[in-house]
Amino acid sequence: MDKPDKNMPDLKLKILISILALLFSVTVKSYSQLVAPGYDFAVIAYCHGAPDDLEAYPVDQLTHIIYSFLHLDGNRLVAGEHDSIAITKLMGLKVRNPQLKIILSLGGWGGCPTCPDVFSTEAGRNEFSNSVKLLLEKFNADGLDLDWEYPALASNPGFKYSDEDKPNFTLLIRSMRETLGAKYEISFAAGGFTEFFIKSVEWDKVMPLLNRVNIMTYDYINGYSTNTGHHTPLFPTPEQPESTDHAVQFLDSLGVPKNKMVIGAAFYARIFRDVDSINNGLYRDCRFEGFIGYRHFDDYFGKHPGFRFYWDDTAKAPYAYNPREQLFATFDNKQSIQLKTRYAVGKGLNGIMFWSLNGDMPENGLISVIHETLNQKPSPK
């Protein structure tokens, strides 16, 4: 009888590892071209709840509505009574637009304090993924958008974070894709700034498993800012290097496919006070005042008649300054939305998204600008 080969267990283990690696690479490859069918360019609306006048919005001009936000109960994603009513209302819009995708979402700013702990264990990730599948089946929804703000970065004061969030985010996406298969869409909301791109995500491992990344190219100037600027610029300026174009170029340099990038637009203004008149208030000391939805622009600016409106041709961004009240406003308008839409199409991006549906005017608003821009015929040469 031949003596057993002491190296045989190691050989068998190596063969098994090779087979598993091959199977995983096939799985990743099978998802590498995930882009939902039925449209050439995604127009994605984040929706905070479901507005009472939802039926008045041009939902036939949208490809996706992302319901914002669900939260965690332990390791599980849950939908309360109010959420369930809102999601059911959104699902009813498919009667008007059968191609419309209704996506559920987790988190938002301050909305996921336990994310680092829940997603740090395999058990937590698996329980979460299974709960997502159950909710998608319950509502007949089309996928999930993760809005964990932010893995491996300090964000909401007092929230836990660590370097391990970054690989754990990858494991979370992998768990979700393995659980949900190719039937459901998976995306995530990415911070639009360089530190996030470097520290929060393993892009080469994550993007093959996703349909898209929704880049939050807004709030560059936000409630914590002490100097004014453009909160949603298309291009950088010498004073403000972060911008939509910078985000796209940086992610492209990391190998993120452009046809999986979605840029963000802001259907709201950020208002700052105590701003002096130098440079019409741009890049000056300030205190954050609040924000105003696009649908309320006329009311707000009408109540503050001292505002003068400006256009920064470098950033391709509008802003306004009120010298009488020392107020500064930064926002998107019809001109900047048109340029962002053209930019996304010209760069071959997956689409454009915005926060939020509730901020727009139901008729002749910014959604209509996106739609009209997408349907413009090229000018004859």
Which residues are the active-site residues?
A: 149
| Cα 119 from Cα 134, distance rounded (Å) | 18
Give the separation between CA 108 and CA 255, rounded to whole angstroms.
26
Using CA atoms, how far residue 23 sits from 66, 186, 206, in Å, is: 32, 21, 17
The CA-based diameter of the chain, rounded to the nearest angstrom, is 100
DSSP-derived secondary structure letter, 378: P
The two structure tokens encoding residue 135: 């909710």
Angle between helices 334-346 and 244-253 (to 10 degrees): 20
Token match 């599948």: residue?
Answer: 133
Strands (E), the chain: 42-48, 64-73, 76-78, 101-107, 143-147, 185-191, 212-216, 261-266, 268-273, 287-293, 308-312, 317-322, 327-330, 351-355
First to last CA, the chain: 86
Say whether 292 sits in a helix, a strand or coil: strand
Q: Are 246 and 236 a contacting pair, CB within 8 Å?
A: yes
User: Alpha-carbon distance 343 to 69, whole Å?
Assistant: 29
Residue 183 contacts residue 142 (beta carbons within 8 Å) = no
Count CB atoms within 10 A of the CB of residue 45: 25
337: nearest Cα among 36, 38, 40, 43: 43
Q: How far is it, in rounded angstroms, from Cα 214 to Cα 197?
A: 13
Is 227 buried (19+), middle (13-18) or exposed (0-12) by CB count in 10 A?
middle
The encoded tokens of residue 143 equal: 């996928």
